[in-house]
Amino acid sequence: MLSDKEYMSHSLELNLFFLRIIKEHIIFAAPALPPKNLDLTNMLIEMKGRFEKLLDRTVDMSLGIVSPEVLASGELVTKFTLPAEEKTQSLTGIPIDMSITKKQLGSRGDNSPGNISPMVSKVSELNKEIIGLMNLALTDQENLLKDVLICKAFSYIYPLMLDHVIREGHFYVMMLSRLEKRDELDSVRKMIEEELNWNRIMHEHSEFIRGYLDPSEDELIQTADKFAVETEKLVAETETLPSQPANLPGVTRQSLNLVTNLRNFKLQGVAGILGCKIKSIIPPLLGDHVLREANHYLRLLKTL
């Protein structure tokens, strides 16, 4: 069983990472819908605002609880996050609460809360509220994907990307639900499950980057395609781990090396997109988004 301190730190760290990821999924989905779906667009923007309020609450609750390693990992915010938000809001017209990012960029993680006992129930209330809102968001996303697949709706986002964000959402809910049960998260089975999840995400990121680049960006497309091929092989190896768990350390080392290289490619990408030096249909915030996910996974791999 997790201690109160472990439960709180794991919960708040998970929420700081995923709440920003989830609200950005909505930011990417809303402008990808045609004018016919204005009502749905407005509903998505309203839901994004609800996730932003939850993220803001989480930031305030996290002072002195979140580990320095998480704060320094680049998974919560990067030096690109604020300019990417500013540029994406300007380009799409989707409102973004940038005060949260400014608050996080100024946070050093000090101001220890002292007695954490009163905070435990507040963290649990937060987790349960997030799970409730996530289930609503997932229902909307699943309905949109279903309509796209039967040609009742259109989106400029790939169907695979809609499926990708739905799976990420379900993974987040599963992780929060485990924390609410005070379930230990470091069994070998769960390590394999998490590594498989994130290797699949890294593989699909490589495919999305390749597909969203302008056809004239030959060199970048070739690099993205190389990562897509390599991560596909890595996913296949990770899929063998449930029956061969002794191979986990070797696969983890492969994952660490490959994802480090992919993270560096994403780092160059977001800088190029913000500098208007790369031709693509990748929103600046999406570039920072996939960079933060790689940073998050690299921290997890290093702990393994």
Give the pLDDT confidence of 29-65 residue by residue, as tens digits.
999 999 999 999 999 999 999 999 999 999 999 988 9
* Last residue of one domain, picked from the residues 111, 141, 156: 156
Cα 89 to Cα 18: distance, rounded to the nearest angstrom: 20
Q: Is 234 contained in some domain?
A: yes
Cα 93 to Cα 95: distance, rounded to the nearest angstrom: 6
**DSSP secondary structure of 63-92:** TTTS-HHHHTTTSS--TTHHHHHHHHHHHH
CATH number at residue 260: 1.20.1260.120
pLDDT number for residue 185: 64
Which helix (H) or strand (E) covers residue 245, if one does? none
Residues 152 and 4 in one domain: yes
* Last residue of one domain, picked from the residues 156, 173, 194: 156
Residues 208 and 74 in one domain: no
| Site of tokens 């697949």 | 149
Q: What is the DSSP letter of 213?
A: B
Are the beta carbons of 288 and 246 closer than 8 angstroms? no
Residues 148 and 26 in one domain: yes
- Mean of the per-residue pLDDT values for the chain? 95
| Site of tokens 């959402």 | 169
What is the chain's Cα-based Rg?
19
Residues 93 and 140 in one domain: yes
Q: Is 175 contained in some domain?
A: no
- How far CA 90 is from CA of 51, 77, 217, in Å, comes to 20, 20, 25
Residues 194 and 109 in one domain: no
Cα 135 to Cα 264: distance, rounded to the nearest angstrom: 34
Are the beta carbons of 65 and 9 closer than 8 angstroms? yes
Q: What is the DSSP letter of 36?
A: G
Residues 131 and 47 in one domain: yes
Q: Is 86 contained in some domain?
A: yes
Q: Is 164 contained in some domain?
A: no
* Last residue of one domain, picked from the residues 117, 141, 156: 156
Residues 9 and 125 in one domain: yes
Residues 73 and 196 in one domain: no
pLDDT number for residue 166: 98
Cα 196 to Cα 175: distance, rounded to the nearest angstrom: 15
Are the beta carbons of 14 and 183 closer than 8 angstroms? no
Q: What is the mean pLDDT of residues 217-243?
A: 98
Residues 195 and 284 in one domain: yes
- How far CA 9 is from CA of 4, 13, 55, 211, in Å, comes to 9, 6, 15, 37
Q: What is the mean pLDDT of residues 253-270?
A: 98
> Residue 114 — very low, low, confident or very high, per pLDDT cuts 50/70/90?
low
pLDDT number for residue 175: 95
Cα 33 to Cα 30: distance, rounded to the nearest angstrom: 6
pLDDT number for residue 188: 87
Residue of 201, 206, 176 whose CA lies nearest to 298: 201
Domain that residue 58 falls in: 1-156
Q: Is 15 contained in some domain?
A: yes
Residues 152 and 243 in one domain: no
Residues 81 and 131 in one domain: yes
Residue 120 tokens read as: 């435990």
As a whole-number percent, the residues of the chain with pLDDT over 70 amount to 96
